[in-house]
Structure 1
Amino acid sequence: MTRRSIADIKARADEFADAFENYDPKPGDQDAPLPPTMAVKLAAWRRDAAEKELAEAVRAAREQRLSWREVGEAIGTSGEAARQRYSATT
């Protein structure tokens, strides 16, 4: 899996948000199952949105003086791993 920067994740989430906001449903779309490609895109958008939300929460936590150890524990990793992943966003 390729590691993406927070900026890449945010940009991708914004792209997906724009696509979903501009989606104009056609009659019968609500009753039909999602095409596989759309289901994958929706899942990717949700993942990117969650990553963006997590990065913002980490930034806010660090502004409130939470240690990297506390941040790491909150997200289920070590403080060092959290620092390496999110220090560019704080």
Structure 2
Amino acid sequence: MTRRSIEDIKARADEFADAFENYDPKSGNQDAPLPPVMAVKLAAWRRDTAERELAEAVHAAREQRLSWREVGEAIGTSGEAARQRYASA
């Protein structure tokens, strides 16, 4: 899986938000499942939103002087991996 920057994630989330805002299900099919491509887009949007929220939470934690080790433990990785991923965010 390719690592994406926080800016890439934010841009993708905006693209997905626009797609959902413009999605217009055909009348009479309100209870029908989402078309497969929209289901995939929705899942990707949720992932991007979660990644953006995580980056914001890490930034806030670091502002409160949480160590990289503590941040890493909180997200299930090493402190060094957390620092590499979120230090520039």
Give the TM-score normalised by structure 2.
Answer: 0.92
Length-normalised TM-score, structure 1: 0.91
- Following superposition, the deviation at residue 13 of structure 1 comes to 0.6
Gaps of 5+ in 1: none
SS in 2 for 1:3: coil
Aligned position for 1:6? 6
CA-CA distance at 1:27 after TM superposition: 1.4
Aligned residues: 89
Residue 69 of structure 1 corresponds to which residue in structure 2?
Answer: 69
One-letter identity of the residue aligned with 1:68? W
* Structure 2 residue 75 is the aligned partner of structure 1 residue 82: no
What code does the residue aligned with 2:6 have? I
Runs of 5+ in structure 2 lacking a partner? Answer: none
Give the residue type in structure 2 aligned to 1:75.
Answer: I
Taking the aligned partners of 2:56 and 2:20, their CA distance within structure 1 comes to: 22
**Greater than 2 Å deviation, 4+ residue runs:** 21-26
1:28, distance to aligned residue in structure 2 (A): 2.5
